[in-house]
Chain A
Amino acid sequence: MYSRSLSARLLSITAALAIALGATSCASSNTSDGPTAGGRGGTLNVALDKAPASLDPADMEQSTSPFAQPAYDALIGVDANGSLVPALATEWGFTDDENKVFEITVRDDVTFSDGAELDADALVTNLKHLDGGKSNVASLVNGGTYEKVDDDTVRITWTTPHPLAPQALTQRWVAGMVVSPKAIEDDPKALATKTVGAGPYELDADRTVAGSTYVYKARDDYWNPDAQHWDEIVITVIANPEQRLNALKTGEVDYVAGDLSTADAAGSAGMQVLYAPTIVYGLSLLDRDGTLGSPLKDVRVRQAINYALDRESIATALLGDYGFATEQTVVPSEAGYVKALKGTYAYDPDKAKSLLAEAGYSNGFSLKVVASTSATAATLSQVLVEQLAKVGITIELDSRPSADYFEGMTGGTFPAAVIGYGSQPLPMEYDGLFGPKAIFNPLGSTSEVIEKTMGEALVAPADEATRLYEGVVTELVEQAWFAPAVFAPVFYFASTDLAPVSVTEARPQSPITELAPAA
């Protein structure tokens, strides 16, 4: 059985991101050729919707990682196409055939903002620090042993395969961000409110108000000055999306977290509207094994629910040009996506009724569903209620605010839930979404086919792994473990004073540090 390690955390992190941002969906995205820097700018003003609980990468939730990005460079970079590129690390890779032993070599010319040097010892200190971290991100490298191979190389050994370790150590996940070993050893608690990283900027603690305004000043001794596009970066927390857009329109800020409700207005105002469709919204049919005695144990019922959803109409009405319909939980650019599965459950209410009748539910049934009150999930929930009612399924919707929703969804008392979940590499989705120990699979549904195929994929070469992933996705769709509806994007809006910003399915958020003044 595949171990629950990296994937569960990464998956859950992305799902959290999806919920937190109230994202919507979309087809490809608006992708440019990347920043065309117009020299170094003065101050970059950014408005985001949520402050971090802590600035320490070991205690930080992934959705607030933009607050760490200015100060903390990551070991591995990921470009807009999703390719891994060197950052603080120059080389990395598995040295065994089972993806359990991983070696990584760091640059030898990097110093932290407190003057400490980056080397193998610093990396080992960081990995141990992450082991003791509070957030789910810290657990991305948990469970390993860390040893110094030479001055700049560290070997990580896990007892279970970790094929996605390189992805986990990119700047997309805060686990890849490296902290000064001196700061960790001196006063790790202080890292909650200050930064001591190897990134291009350093937090100006005197001008920062935790939870509200974060000011970062450019470092004079940064190892890669070409990547410093600003003298300083100011991130302000503005919870209301309309207020963020107003601040952008008046020129008070240059870059904001957006949402579906303000996307058209941002476009009309001439702003760069950035979005990538990475969040799947739909129903998770949790009681697949009939643990709660619901009709969902019968695959025909689950398939009937899928046939009853008019996905294309939902996508058009809910998301317009920003989203697209889906029957799968991975985006088309992700390994495991099966193009041939599109249309498997084309809208067919008659077939849905027929399947329900075959399963013995010709008069329909009632189904308890827990849902979040976040904007997109709430709207989708209402649509689902209406569409399923047409085939005789009465949804007893229990809509709750975020914290209460997660307690309900993971509590094992609801046979189904409306979910918003960020697409990830399939092993991550296995650990977080559909594996037997996944947090989004609270009733522990299992499938022999999925378990066997995932186990083989873990140690398979890339091409073979992709084929095996496709088998898993096919099984999920055919067995109707979910009733996905749409893929929705995470939105960002940027001023035209910034160089064109690039987001893709492979990298739905541009790192703050890559934002540059327009040429």
Chain B
Amino acid sequence: MSLRRLLNWFVMSLLLFFVLSALLFVLVSLTPGDAARTIVGPNASVEQYEQVRRELGLDLPVWQQYGNWLMGLLRGDLGDSIVSGAPVGQVLADRLEPTLSLILCTFVCASVLGIALGVIGASRPGIVGKAADALSVVGSAVPNFWIGLVLATIFAVHLRWLPTSGYAPIVDGVGPWLARMVLPVATLTIGSTALLAKQTRDAVAEQLAQPYIVLLRAHGVSEHRILWRHALRGAAVPIVTILGMKMVGLTTGTVLVESVFVIPGFAGYAVDATLLHDIPVVQAITLIFSIVIIVTNLIVELLYARLNVKEIS
């Protein structure tokens, strides 16, 4: 990937971020109520409400509020939560570990399971392939939050093997952390694995039908080596594409799962902040999501280059 292409790519990403953040600012401003109402309570007097609005700067035009936020961002200041008054950086830092744990654990589990199932499905196209297809359809069709509720009902409420909700920091011990990660990670992994397994199976199966595979077999290369080294490498581009999409999807997909399992991550907090009209927090989360998406796409682009893909979209 050339330096010029890389620079163009960054500029486009930055523009995208500014457009997105401005749009979000306007949308949140248009929703009924505001942070001042949250603070004073729904039944406070008009005078109290207006006073708090002025103190928070919510009486300024939206463009001016956005400008103020943007200037702060350029100074490296994410601002303070309108609702709590706490620095946004601190608010989100407290919530980083749970969300990262959820995303990374799910990504690893889904990648390993999805690729393994896909490769096995491609090499044994009978019942295993059909099972991968069926799993793919179910995993894609059923919403994550429903899967989460079912798993919680079975394994937490009835069997009582695992806690229903919450998060334990890893510094408090791997056991408690793992116990609270199992159900949410399983919930996200089911949906993520399904599509990845199907795409992997199709891509690997396509490779197995290529003439070079016949040539390798003629040279006495083992099936195991053909499958896991040559066919899988040939199928890497679509798999990397799906993995990139999954990473992006997980970043936003954790929102509902964090709500279902009451995990104090920042993805779920995005919903709360939006409902509270806490614009600095919403904008900061948008910024983080944007960075994750931009970096993920960059990694995918670099991997494409590494895999000698000539056409980069």
Contacts and interface: CB of A to CB of B under 8 A. Distances in A.
Nearest to B38: A53
B42 A243 contact: no
Interface in A423-447: 432, 439-440
A211 B266 CA distance: 10
A272 interface: no
A246 B41 contact: no
B41 A61 contact: yes
Interface in B26-61: 32-33, 37-46, 48, 52, 55
B247 interface: no
A252 interface: yes
Given A193-B86, A211-B269, A406 B166 contact: no
A192 B84 contact: yes
Interface in B246-272: 259-260, 262, 264, 269, 272
Given A209-B95, A246-B164, A250-B163, A61 B40 contact: yes
Interface string A240-271: 10010011011010000000000000000000
Given A134-B55, A249-B157, A404-B33, A238 B44 contact: no
A232 to B, nearest CB: 14
Interface in A111-152: 134-137, 139
A29 interface: no
A11 B45 CA distance: 11
Contact of A406 (B43, B152, B259): B43
B102 interface: no
Contacts of A252: 163-166
A479 interface: no
Contacts of A236: 165-166, 262
B282 to A, nearest CB: 13
Contacts of B262: 212, 236-238, 243
Nearest to A45: B166
B276 to A, nearest CB: 7
Contacts of B45: 4, 8-9, 12, 136, 139, 439
Interface string B119-145: 000000000000000000000000000
B32 A9 contact: no
A105 interface: no
B259 A239 contact: yes
A167 interface: no
A413 interface: no
Nearest to B56: A134
A246 B33 contact: no
B284 interface: no
B85 interface: yes
Contacts of A54: 39, 83-85
A212 B94 CA distance: 10
Nearest to A403: B33
Contacts of A439: 43-46
Interface string A25-68: 00000000000000000000000000101100001011100000
B160 interface: yes
Contacts of A9: 44-45
Interface string A197-230: 0000000000011111100000000000000000
A135 B40 contact: yes
A269 B166 CA distance: 22
Contact of B32 (A12, A211, A400): A400
A13 interface: yes
Nearest to B269: A211
Interface string A1-22: 0001000110111011001100
Contact of B42 (A19, A210, A238): A19
Contacts of A189: 85
A250 B164 contact: yes
Nearest to B169: A207
Nearest to B41: A61
B105 interface: no
A401 interface: yes
Given A62-B41, A246-B152, A210 B48 contact: no
Contacts of B166: 213, 236, 252
Nearest to A14: B43
B22 interface: no
A406 B85 contact: no
A16, A189, A212 — most chain B CB neighbours (10 Å)? A212
B100 interface: no
B91 interface: yes
Contacts of A209: 94-95, 264
A402 interface: yes
Contacts of A61: 39-41
A213 B264 contact: yes
Contacts of A8: 45
B44, B46, B91, B259 — most chain A CB neighbours (10 Å)? B44
A475 interface: no
Interface in A298-336: none
A370 to B, nearest CB: 12
Nearest to A11: B43
B156 interface: yes
Contacts of B276: 53
Given A210-B84, A211-B269, A401 B32 contact: yes
Given A192-B84, A401-B32, A134 B39 contact: yes
A11 B163 CA distance: 39
B40 A246 contact: no
Given A134-B52, A246-B156, A210 B86 contact: yes
Please give me the 10 A-B residue pairs with the lowest Cβ-Cβ distance, nearest first: A403-B33, A12-B43, A212-B264, A404-B32, A136-B44, A192-B85, A209-B264, A61-B41, A53-B83, A406-B42
Given A210-B84, A250-B157, 20 more contacts: A13-B41, A13-B43, A53-B83, A53-B276, A136-B44, A137-B41, A139-B45, A193-B85, A211-B264, A212-B269, A213-B166, A236-B165, A236-B262, A246-B156, A249-B157, A402-B42, A403-B42, A406-B37, A407-B33, A439-B43
24 contacts: A13-B41, A54-B85, A59-B85, A63-B41, A134-B55, A136-B40, A136-B43, A137-B41, A139-B48, A192-B84, A193-B86, A209-B94, A209-B95, A210-B94, A213-B166, A240-B259, A243-B165, A249-B157, A250-B160, A403-B32, A404-B32, A404-B33, A406-B37, A410-B46
Interface of A: 4, 8-9, 11-13, 15-16, 19-20, 51, 53-54, 59, 61-63, 134-137, 139, 189, 192-193, 208-213, 236-240, 243, 246-247, 249-250, 252, 400-404, 406-407, 410, 432, 439-440
